[in-house]
Amino acid sequence: GIVFNLGLASVGSKQAQALIPGNLTISVVKIYADTAPTGASLIVDVNKNGSTMFTTQGNRPEIVIDGHSDDSTPDVTALAIGDRLSIDIDQVGSIIAGGADLLVTIVCV
């Protein structure tokens, strides 16, 4: 898999990036945060070469209020040698920002 340790989550694009070394297929994107968000969910997006892999935006990885983890399957799953993955953090919570020690793991086969 491909693991991104984002530390303390803050809203923004290209919070982490990776270059893909081979032809892979994503089976699931897993996210985990030590601190649960309150007031609103923590939402992450994964991009391939600058475009979201979650074309159905409602399927983006989302840690719900008072939650710590989520598993989501992107609409686009194929990766090729040289593709660039980037992680956007779209939302972190509104009362307490979740995401201390935010981890994003992309499980591939």
What does the domain layout of the chain look like in residue ranges?
2-108
How far apart, in whole angstroms, are the C-alpha atoms of residue 36 and residue 62? 11
Residue 46, pLDDT above cutoff 80? yes
Give the long-range contacts of residues 56-62, CB within 8 A, separation 24 or more: 60/90, 61/29, 61/30, 61/31, 61/104
pLDDT band, residue 76 (cuts 50/70/90): very high
Is the pLDDT assigned to residue 49 strictly greater than 90? yes
Q: Does the pLDDT value for residue 96 go beyond 90?
A: no
Task: Please tell us whether the domain made up of 2-108 is placed in CATH 2.60.120.
Answer: yes
Contacts of 57 (CB under 8 A, 6+ apart): none
